[in-house]
Amino acid sequence: MADAKPLYDTYNRAPMLFERGEGVWLETQGGERYLDFAAGIAVNSLGHAHPHLVEALKGQAEKLWHLSNIHEIPGQTRLAERLAAVTFADKVFFTNSGAEALECAIKTARRHFYVNGQPERFRIITMEGAFHGRTLATIAAGGQAKYLEGFGPKVEGFDQVPFGDLEAIKAAVSDETAAILVEPVQGEGGVRPLPKEFLRALRELCNDQGILLILDEVQSGVGRTGKLFAHEWAGITPDLMAIAKGIGGGFPFGACLSTREAADGMTVGTHGTTYGGNPLAMAVGNAVLDVILEDSFLAHVNDIALVLSQGLASLKDRYPALIEDIRGTGLLLGIKCAKSNMDLVMAMRNEHLLAVPAGDNVVRLLPPLIVTAEEARDALSRIEAALDMLSSKDTQTDRMQ
Ligand SMILES: *Cc1c(COP(=O)(O)O)cnc(C)c1O
């Protein structure tokens, strides 16, 4: 009876009703506990109800909720300075979401060439399997037919090439190209990391051609892969970068980071937002950074990533009929399934472990970065139980045939 509900029918919602969360755990109204390895799709980077974030949000809520961007906003300059200090960026624009951060990056790139006497350079090269959001421009950038269908003419100016195909990218660069836009690790596309050498080659190509490199680190950023940003593994820097998800720890916000040069067209009045960089968001973002920038934090992410990836590799050896491959970096891990990925997500849900399906028949594991080794091992035994259940089901069907 979907029609009886006043909400849009755009989501196929899971039946559990969650009421509260703590750390890596979610609890339903009925008091059932689930181990949350979905983390709101890489959003709850510090888990649920992290005391430092709760305190930051409550503290700000008692002072000031909202101010127009015609004023200096508490926390905005500080967060921008801190982000600039730990990245390639000189300039930051705050948004409410990942897609808006991408929109800002796209506009910044186009505008850069516009003010530098090359207005014809507005096209952006993207890769198959990409996901950059659900606005009209970002569905055009992502290029996936299932998200474009029925929404009118595709926004002009995006050229798509096959995943990981450097020659195709080189061939696609023209006099009208402004930028190349990629995710260092495709998230929705099936946890597909771009090799380090590939990212280095892209950086070199952009330098040679005088075009901009835009990275979408909305999912892979803010500690998720064991570095503050995934591109650091390749030892390169982009000209522009979109972030969101993990930086808010559950409070909705994103940011577009830029070099001074790339942002040279973004002068007074060229872009804006009512809510972006809101005081509440900035208080939480600064609190997230307090924790993620602590000395041992990323080492912890890498330690747990090792526990998980080794455990998953051994499950792959023991269940070759169900697992084809384990992929990903840090705590952005994917189980490439031999059978249906949805069946595995459901079987894991049965074991009270939450994960997210992704493209290419993959199950994504994105635990909060504060997950402990014990909780990682707990998740592994739940995954094993789910695999056991699926393989005994398979044996039964074989017998019936
Ligand atoms: C989630 C995501 C987006 C879109 O973010 P929204 O906040 O949903 O707009 C863009 N790019 C990547 C890589 C993402 O994972």
Of 227, 259, 292, which marks where a domain is finished?
292
Average pLDDT over residues 338-351: 98
Residue 20 falls within a domain, yes or no? Answer: no
Could you say which of 269, 292, 315 is where a domain stops?
292
Helix, strand, or coil here: 282?
helix
Residue 99 Cβ inside 6 Å of ligand 1? The answer reads: yes
**Residue located nearest, by CA, to atom 15 of ligand 1:** 219
Q: How many CB atoms lie within 10 A of CB 377?
A: 13
CATH number, domain with residue 354? 3.90.1150.10
Q: 220 and 83 in one domain?
A: yes
Residue 14 lies in a domain: no
Instruction: Output the pLDDT for position 395.
Output: 80
Count the helix, strand and coil residues of the chain and give each as a percent rounded to the nearest 5.
Answer: 40, 20, 40
Q: Is 273 a known ligand-binding residue?
A: yes
150-194 residue pLDDT tens: 999 999 999 999 999 999 999 999 999 999 999 999 999 999 999
Tell me the per-residue pLDDT of 137-150, one tens digit each, with 9 for 90 and over: 999 999 999 999 99
273/342 same-domain check: no
Q: Determine the Cα–Cα distance for residues 320 and 15; give it in Å rounded to an integer.
A: 30
| Rounded distance between C-alpha atoms, residue 48 and residue 41, angstroms | 13
How many structural domains is the chain composed of? 2
Residue 393, pLDDT score: 85
Ligand 1 centroid to residue 131 C-alpha, Å: 7
Domain that holds residue 373: 296-400
Is residue 172 located within the same domain as residue 264?
Answer: yes
| Domain-terminating residue out of 249, 274, 292 | 292
**Distance (Å, rounded) from C-alpha 360 to C-alpha 75?**
40
**Whether residue 334 is found in the same domain as residue 276:** no
DSSP annotation of 264: G
308 and 273 in one domain?
Answer: no
Q: What's the CATH number where 132 sits?
A: 3.40.640.10
Residue 117 lies in a domain: yes
The closest-lying atom of ligand 1 relative to the alpha carbon of residue 99 is 9
Q: What is the pTM of this model?
A: 0.97
Q: What is the pLDDT of residues 279-293, one digit of tens each?
A: 999 999 999 999 999
| Listed residue (200, 129, 196) closest to 162, CA to CA | 129
Residue 228 is predicted with a pLDDT of 98
Task: Report the pLDDT averaged over residues 13-41.
Answer: 97
The answer to the question of residue 12 being in a domain is: no
Overall average pLDDT of the 386-400 stretch: 85
Q: How far apart are CA 132 and CA 243, in angstroms?
A: 11
Q: Average pLDDT over the chain, rounded to whole?
A: 97
> Are residue 359 and residue 384 in the same domain, yes or no?
yes
In a domain, 1, yes or no: no
Contact present, 252 and 97 (Cβ < 8 Å): yes
C-alpha–C-alpha distance, residues 53 and 368, integer Å: 14
Instruction: Tell me which of 11, 43, 45, 131 to substitute to probe ligand 1's pocket, judged by most ligand atoms within 8 Å of the beta carbon.
Output: 131
Q: What is the pLDDT of residues 230-276, one digit of tens each?
A: 999 999 999 999 999 999 999 999 999 999 999 999 999 999 999 99
The arithmetic mean of pLDDT across residues 65-94, rounded, is: 97
Task: Determine the atom of ligand 1 nearest the C-alpha atom of 183.
Answer: 13
For residue 244 and ligand 1, the question of a CB distance below 6 A is answered with yes
- Structural domain includes residue 17: no
pLDDT tens readout for residues 1-18: 456 789 999 999 999 999
Q: What is the pLDDT of residue 397?
A: 73
* 169 & 250 share domain: yes
Element (H, E) at 199: helix 196-209
Does residue 97 have its Cβ closer than 6 Å to ligand 1? yes
87 is in an annotated binding site: no
Q: Residue 4 domain-assigned?
A: no
User: CB of 216 closer than 6 A to ligand 1?
Assistant: yes
401: pLDDT confidence band, cut at 50, 70 and 90?
Answer: low
CB 382 within 8 A of CB 351: yes
